Amino acid sequence: MTTAEKNKILIVATYGPDNPERCPGAFVFAQEAAKTGADVGLVFVLQAPLLLKKGVADSICAKEGGRTIRKFIDDTLDAGVQFFACDAAMRLCDITADELIEEVDMIVGPSFVITEGLKADLALTF
């Protein structure tokens, strides 16, 4: 067991479909963090919950001819990363829980970022 297996990492995604070139960062870093054995959570705030709306990420690519954001989502989930959607951001984006992909682990409030961020060994924002 490595030290990293006990670490907690919180990653905050802020970008949505309007900035596709900025979306993969949170997923790539979450995957890398999970490879260390850390407990990794990815929370979607501001415009990022739009990526979790059913069907939205299926056709968005960071660059022409590249992988879809849905592929990044699937790879990140396969790595064992937990997904959290911010309810305040969901209201901002006019989406409901019923519109989210099934893989979202929990809908959380804004205080989640603060409380979990304080508990984390590392917090990153994209």
Q: How many residues does the chain have?
A: 126
> Which parts of 53-125 are beta strand (E)?
82-86, 106-108, 122-125
What is the pLDDT, as a whole number, of residue 14? Answer: 97
Q: Which two tokens stand for residue 107?
A: 């809908």
* Cα 95 to Cα 71: distance, rounded to the nearest angstrom: 22
The model carries a pTM of 0.92
Are the CB atoms for 100 and 72 separated by under 8 Å?
no
For domain 3-125, give the CATH superfamily.
DsrEFH-like (3.40.1260.10)
89 touches 83 (CB < 8 A): no
State pLDDT tens for residues 21-53: 999 999 999 999 999 999 999 999 999 999 999
Q: What is the distance between the alpha carbons of residues 99 and 111, in angstroms, rounded to a whole number? A: 23
Whose tokens are 């900035």? That residue is 19
* Residue 98: alpha-carbon gap to chain centroid: 18
Ordered by start, the domain boundaries in the chain are 3-125
Dig out the tokens for 47 from the structure. Answer: 């415009």
CB 123 within 8 A of CB 101: no
10-residue mean pLDDT series, the chain (126 residues): 70 96 97 96 98 96 94 98 98 96 95 95 96
